[in-house]
Chain A
């Protein structure tokens, strides 16, 4: 059974950098994509991006210029940095796992099977 535990600063000022970390317990770091997803208060879910154990990443285009997702396989952790935050970045941020889906010689992400508890990040001056 996989368990995700996330942490990071919950209150930021505009222009600062959001930084969150997610630790993975009870599962292999290999064989999964590791994702960040956010949810503004009272709104729907937005995928931010993903990383695989090799370090290969994919980001949502509207956020791509400000997002960095990294992985530390020695600690079974992955992290999110979002630079130059504004009030529009206020949201609950979730980390989530996605099992590899392999078809023939290629593999891709799939559904989100395990989620962190969520971190409310508020951007306010």
Chain B
């Protein structure tokens, strides 16, 4: 199984400041034949299902604000919120879809400082 490790477990950021979440996979999720990283990012607010933010490591889902961006390749990935808004308070998960079983990171809780 591919183990996904997120850091930090939680972070508090001031409104308008940058939030950065890291995700590391135990093996590469880069598929060499198409040069795609099989990595997604999700946002989950209390009482709601997760919402897809980013797929293929850096492609923003339709309707997702451009303050959310994804980067990285191979085993190391980052989700960045460039200017934190109050509505961004949530838990964020990374997920690999390179191989089954599909696995998620443990989540990072983002709060307002």
Please report A residues at the B interface, Cβ cutoff 8 Å: 35, 44-47, 50, 58, 60-61, 94, 96, 98, 101, 103-104, 108-113, 115-118
Beta-carbon contact of A118 and B33 below 8 Å: no
Q: Which residues on B sit within 8 Å (CB–CB) of A116?
A: 49
Beta-carbon contact of B93 and A44 below 8 Å: yes
- Decide if the interface of chain B is mainly helix, strand, loop or mixed: loop
Beta-carbon contact of B34 and A103 below 8 Å: yes
Q: Offer 26 A-B interface pairs, CB within 8 angstroms, sorted by A.
A: A35-B102, A44-B93, A45-B95, A45-B107, A46-B104, A47-B101, A47-B102, A47-B103, A50-B102, A58-B101, A60-B101, A96-B49, A101-B38, A103-B33, A108-B97, A109-B97, A109-B100, A109-B102, A110-B40, A110-B55, A111-B56, A111-B95, A112-B50, A112-B95, A115-B50, A115-B51
Beta-carbon contact of B97 and A98 below 8 Å: yes
Q: Which residues on B sit within 8 Å (CB–CB) of A111?
A: 40, 52, 55-56, 95, 97
Interface size on B, residues (CB 8 A): 24
Q: Which residues on B sit within 8 Å (CB–CB) of A113?
A: 52, 55, 61
Q: Which residues on A sit within 8 Å (CB–CB) of B42?
A: 112
New contact pairs (5) apart from A44-B106, A45-B104, A47-B101, CB-CB < 8 Å: A104-B33, A108-B97, A111-B52, A112-B40, A113-B55
Asked, given contacts A45-B104, A98-B97, whether A110 binds B50 with beta carbons under 8 Å apart, the answer is: no
Q: How many A-B residue pairs have CB under 8 A?
A: 61
Report the minimal beta-carbon distance from A41 to chain B, rounded to whole angstroms: 12
Please report B residues at the A interface, Cβ cutoff 8 Å: 31, 33-34, 38, 40, 42, 49-52, 55-56, 61, 93, 95, 97, 100-107
Q: How far is the CA of A112 from the CA of B100 in the complex (A)?
A: 14
Q: Which residues on A sit within 8 Å (CB–CB) of B105?
A: 44
Asked, given contacts A58-B100, A61-B101, A111-B95, whether A45 binds B50 with beta carbons under 8 Å apart, the answer is: yes
Report the minimal beta-carbon distance from B22 to chain A, rounded to whole angstroms: 16
